[in-house]
Amino acid sequence: MTNPFIVAGGAGFGGMMAHAEATDARREARRAQSEATELNARLDRLAMTCEALWTILREKLGLSEEDLVDRVVQIDLSDGKLDGKVSRSAVSCPKCGRTIGRRFPNCMYCGQAVMQDPFA
């Protein structure tokens, strides 16, 4: 049986759909690659800034690498797990007591301004 979407001399409807999907996939792959490149560049700048801050602190305050590593472990453990990341849980609104996300500047229930966690 012949596929009605495939006609002689061309790709037909099915072929055009496959071509459009492939074009979309290539476009999405380029966008993702571009985003990954940008994130890597930002990560490089952030790592350089952290290193600059660390070397200033080490020189000015006489801290050691061990001090830095100990503090990293302490911060990692602040959520109860030594896993290379910190999970920041929700907080309670100081006015109404409801649970709110750390990223919001105000309580979504009562509007109370909430102290922002700079690392959330």
The binding site for Zn ion (CB under 5 A) comprises 93, 95-96, 107, 109-110, 112
Query: Minimum CB separation from Zn ion for residue 45, in Å?
Result: 37
Would you say 54 or 109 has its CB closer to Zn ion?
109
Would you say 19 or 95 has its CB closer to Zn ion?
95
Largest CA distance in the chain: 82
Query: Minimum CB separation from Zn ion for residue 96, in Å?
Result: 3
Token pair of 81 as six digits = 């797990």
Going by the DSSP 8-state scheme, the letter that residue 92 receives in this structure is: E
Query: Minimum CB separation from Zn ion for residue 90, in Å?
Result: 12
The DSSP H or E segment spanning 100 is strand 99-100
Would you say 14 or 97 has its CB closer to Zn ion?
97
Whole-number Å distance between alpha carbons of 19 and 75: 50
Token pair of 87 as six digits = 């999970």
